[in-house]
Amino acid sequence: MDFSTHFPIWDKLTPAQQKTISQTSFQRSVSKGTVLHNGSVSCLGMLLILSGQLRSYIVSDEGREITLYRLFERDVCIFSASCVMQNIQFEVIIEAEKDSEILVLPPHIYKSLMEESAPMANFSNQIMASHFSEVMWLIEQIMWKSFDKRLAAFLVEETLLENTDILKITHEKIANHLGTAREVVTRMLRYFQSENLVRLSRGTIEITDKKGLEELSE
Amino acid sequence: MDFSTHFPIWDKLTPAQQKTISQTSFQRSVSKGTVLHNGSVSCLGMLLILSGQLRSYIVSDEGREITLYRLFERDVCIFSASCVMQNIQFEVIIEAEKDSEILVLPPHIYKSLMEESAPMANFSNQIMASHFSEVMWLIEQIMWKSFDKRLAAFLVEETLLENTDILKITHEKIANHLGTAREVVTRMLRYFQSENLVRLSRGTIEITDKKGLEELSE
């Protein structure tokens, strides 16, 4: 598995550019919890996710977190090469949420390809536009959607990602995804339990009425 | 005044590309309040602002607004060409906040130039990255900064943009910039008045302690 089979614009690159990518890119295994990119202190390069799941988030001065978006199989991550991108003035953290296999294209190679190849530059543009769209969606959620709807949507998404209705996730972790305090999550989960939407026990949240959660989230 | 003198990457375009831009772009005067772009229902093209001030904002189903960023002299607006940009899945509104002079590059010309010119594609990339950065700043403000600090920062910014300490702006309009309700703005302004930071009168807000507002906003 390499860029030639997984990179969407491979056929739009010149043979020389394809050769450069093949010779400089490398595969890396990262275990769950690994921080791949941490704001301006690291610059791994452009990533192509072969398997697993990455999470992109920001963190406040006080240590509060909020998830911006997640990356899945065949997604491409460009903010892990933010050191070679102009005008990026924010710092995201990218970590492996599951054990993952990734292909890495070093930042200076990524930069020189963008400079000489319009398809590569336009591809980066599309990736940024789709992340921008996810962040705009997030703003709309934060500004205009009540927390019960956001939490319901998060729980439904998690059952799909984890492929189980019994979620092993702490209230703290959910709070970090949604950018709120643990107490707020606990209070809302207890309310969901009283409405028979979930059943809470130590370390797990069992979804007992997924249809109800879906309706609530809309 | 045209693209040849104001477009940052003019010298990186081929003579043929320069000629295309010169022949297809046009200047337009827009009066204050004009909506230049309204989500997916319009597609004016790429804009270069010669003078004046534009505002980019989103609006909720219930009609609530929040300002994303503003554009000033020599800024370039690409979301007004969102119909030809891939993966943009959000709808912004762009309106003239002051009487403005703009240069317009039609969307299909913009698109074909991006496809054939790496400098043009990278330039678009940089514009998007800087807007993305402004929106990320906004998320951090909304999530982690209290409303008094946000309002203080907004008032200080307005005195600079309008070049006066006596602002003619309604509480409703401030609420639309900051994504909140008019009552919230009025309450905080009254508190600012009690702290001798501002003096309120019909239709105006006089900044009486700019230094105090600046300190509050930090």
On whether the CB atoms of residues B22 and B4 are closer than 8 A, the answer is yes
Q: Average pLDDT of chain B? A: 94
Predicted local distance difference test score (pLDDT) of residue A41 = 78
Predicted local distance difference test score (pLDDT) of residue A155 = 97
User: Which candidate from A62, A90, A121 shows the least CB-CB separation from B125?
Assistant: A121
Domains of chain B with bracketed CATH: 3-143 (2.60.120.10), 145-217 (1.10.10.10)
Verify whether the Cβ–Cβ distance B124 to A126 is below 8 Å. Answer: no
ipTM (interface pTM): 0.88
Predicted local distance difference test score (pLDDT) of residue A98 = 95
Query: Is 90 exceeded by the pLDDT of residue B42?
Result: no
Give the minimum alpha-carbon distance from A200 to chain B in angstroms, rounded to a whole number.
28
Beta bridge partners of B65: B59
Predicted local distance difference test score (pLDDT) of residue B218 = 86
Among chain B, residues having any CB pair with chain A shorter than 8 Å are: 58, 60-62, 64, 66, 85-90, 114-118, 120-122, 124-133, 135-140, 142-144, 179
Verify whether the Cβ–Cβ distance A89 to B64 is below 8 Å. Answer: no
Span B54-87, pLDDT tens digits: 999 999 888 889 999 999 999 999 999 999 998 8
Among chain A, residues having any CB pair with chain B shorter than 8 Å are: 58, 60-62, 64, 66, 85-90, 114-118, 120-122, 124-133, 135-140, 142-144, 179
Buried residues in B113-141 as b, exposed as e (16+ CB within 10 A): bbeebbbbbbbbbbbbbbbbebbbebbbb
Predicted local distance difference test score (pLDDT) of residue B86 = 87
Of the candidates A210, A101, A87, A88, the one whose C-alpha atom is nearest the C-alpha of residue A153 is A210
Give the minimum alpha-carbon distance from A208 to chain B in angstroms, rounded to a whole number.
31
Q: How far apart are CA B69 and CA B92, in angstroms?
A: 11
Widest distance between CA atoms in chain B: 63
Predicted local distance difference test score (pLDDT) of residue B152 = 97
pLDDT per residue as tens, chain A (218 positions): 789 999 999 999 999 999 999 999 999 999 999 999 998 778 999 999 999 999 999 998 888 899 999 999 999 999 999 999 988 988 999 999 999 999 999 999 999 999 999 999 999 999 999 999 999 999 998 988 899 999 999 999 999 999 999 999 999 999 999 998 899 999 999 999 989 999 999 889 999 999 999 999 98
Give the minimum alpha-carbon distance from A38 to chain B in angstroms, rounded to a whole number.
16
